[in-house]
Chain A
Amino acid sequence: MSGNLVRILADRDRCIGAGQCVLSAPDVFDQSDDDGRVLILPHAAAPHSDPANTTIPPQSKGPLEAATPPASTGLSDAAPPQPKGPLDAAASPNPAGLLDTPAPPVSEGPLVDEDVARAAVDLCPSRALSLARP
């Protein structure tokens, strides 16, 4: 547990239903019975969370990098403010990768522990998960 809290963004169009996130953090993720794709549980465990933080309006979220190996990660406060949404394509070492996906629908979850979130983002085989600092 890092003690830091982040939000997880899930791109359900990209999700392939492998279930790695559910195995990694069953308190945070589920899979829809209707389409098998990722769901972020509305009351995911958010230890030490300040209830005030959960009401931060979405437009104040800064997107962060996604799906980078743990050794090279680090929340970047320098990320330029942008509308909510994952920035993984722009932050990817190969920008051609997966850019064929049009602007994705994004679902948002509650605040979760950063270590838990990073592990899930790293495991996701379809790069459907990304992080945003509240």
Chain B
Amino acid sequence: MPQSTPAPAAAPAPETEPPPPRFPLARGCPFDPPADYAALRAEQPVTRVRVPSGQDAWLVTRHEDVRRLLTDARVSADRGHPNLPLTEAVTPASRQAIAAVGRSLIGLDPPEHGVRRGMLITEFTVRRINTLRPYIQQVVDGLLDDLLAGPRPADLVAALCLPVPSMVLCELLGVPYADREFFQRRATVQVRRGVAPEERQKAGAELRAYLDRLLTEKEADPGDDLLGRLIVRNRAAAAADAGEPPFDHNLLVGLAMLLMAAGHESTANMISLGVAGLLENPDQLAAITSDPAAIPMAMEELLRYFAIVDTMPRVAKADIELGGVTIQAGDGLLIGFASANRDETVFPNPDTLDVRRGARHHVAFGYGVHQCIGQNLARAEMEIVFRTLFARIPGLKLAVPLHELSFKDDSSVYGLDRLPVTW
């Protein structure tokens, strides 16, 4: 494949050249990223691939290169850029939706991004998230009470993995108790594969309409919750600058949708994959059940090992020399989080799940200024779920063989559709 003379970003390589491999590459073991990543890291660390959205893009597979690009001002997160490589088939409408989601936060570049993120970071500090721990514990305890009282086998995705983050998001955002059932039903339908696309879109639209109304109410009477405090800070920032607030109403709705999208299915997937991974590796499970103090670092290893976000799309704003190639201005980039997390030059025996590894420098939450703002919330949820689940149900086991589980191979966020368990 062409290494030194890349084709223009939006156009496939000339037909005389063999086309680049199709992305995503195939997985072998469902717990591992595509096996070809190892050879790419060794031989072609920045390589051309063809994505389902029709473009060719540069796949970046080494840990060092991933972190370098994510801290490089020549790399843009613009979700509206036509060359942004998307790993799911897209329509013009879905591209517009992706661009719209990006406008509130994740698709912005410095300095605009820093202003918006700066409005939010007090909500996600380690200390602030720790104040949510008693609520998270209460949620997990209640869901496990229900699970234990119900039939066996049970689907842990529906019983625990999805409801934990969804209920915690309601608390975080300040969704009134009376609305939470409405909210959670739609939040779950929206992310549930196997549900008809129209039904998912309808749930998403209802969720957006709900958050629009909720924000209108909070603009009139901001409560002491994330969205209420954000509204107050937003007005204070506008008053201090005698200008426009960083977030207008539509951007606030977009942000609330983004927090929902980013904080719901991702955490659920980490829980479902993590439970499956530990049940398949009983020695690793024993290492955390025998020593609860080991759980926080074990969560880092689960995050490294499963890296549910395989790649993150970016676009080059200027020419960049990297890994023996010239990435040209306008080229799409796929930043390989899952590959970086298995980089053997950074993590010895990278394909071994080792909960005692003690490595925090994975990129499961990304790197650079866009690193996951909710990462400490995800850690808190995971820690409480894993500690409580295996303490309450020490005999937990898979109800079907591993190879019968339904993995989300064609989804931009990897995980399990269902996790049948018994005890």
What is the interface of chain A, defined by CB distance below 8 A to chain B? 16-20, 22-24, 30-37, 67, 69, 71, 93-94, 96-101, 119, 122-123, 125-127
Contacts and interface: CB of A to CB of B under 8 A. Distances in A.
Interface stretch (B9-17, B51-59, B203-211, B367-375): B367-375
> Which 8 pairs of residues, A with B, have the shortest CB-CB distance?
A17-B121, A36-B121, A125-B371, A36-B122, A31-B125, A97-B72, A19-B126, A22-B126
A66 B83 CA distance: 33
A93 B122 contact: no
A69 B66 CA distance: 12
Contacts of B372: 18
Contact of B361 (A93, A98, A122): A122
A102 to B, nearest CB: 10
A2 to B, nearest CB: 17
Interface SS of B by simple majority: loop
Contacts, number: 94
Q: Which of A23, A99, A101 neighbours the largest number of chain B CB atoms within 10 Å of its CB?
A: A23
A30 B367 CA distance: 20
A48 to B, nearest CB: 23
Nearest to B363: A125
Contacts of B194: none
Interface of B: 64, 68, 70-74, 110-111, 114, 117-118, 120-127, 318, 320, 345-346, 360-361, 365-369, 371-373, 375-376, 379
17 contacts: A16-B369, A17-B121, A18-B372, A19-B126, A20-B360, A31-B127, A33-B125, A36-B121, A37-B121, A94-B68, A97-B73, A98-B71, A99-B73, A100-B73, A101-B110, A123-B361, A126-B71
A3 B215 CA distance: 53
Contacts of A93: 68
A18 B372 CA distance: 8
Given A17-B117, A18-B373, A125-B70, 14 more contacts: A16-B114, A18-B365, A20-B360, A23-B126, A34-B122, A36-B118, A36-B123, A69-B346, A93-B68, A94-B74, A97-B68, A98-B72, A119-B360, A123-B360
A53 B379 CA distance: 38
B111 A100 contact: yes
Nearest to A24: B360
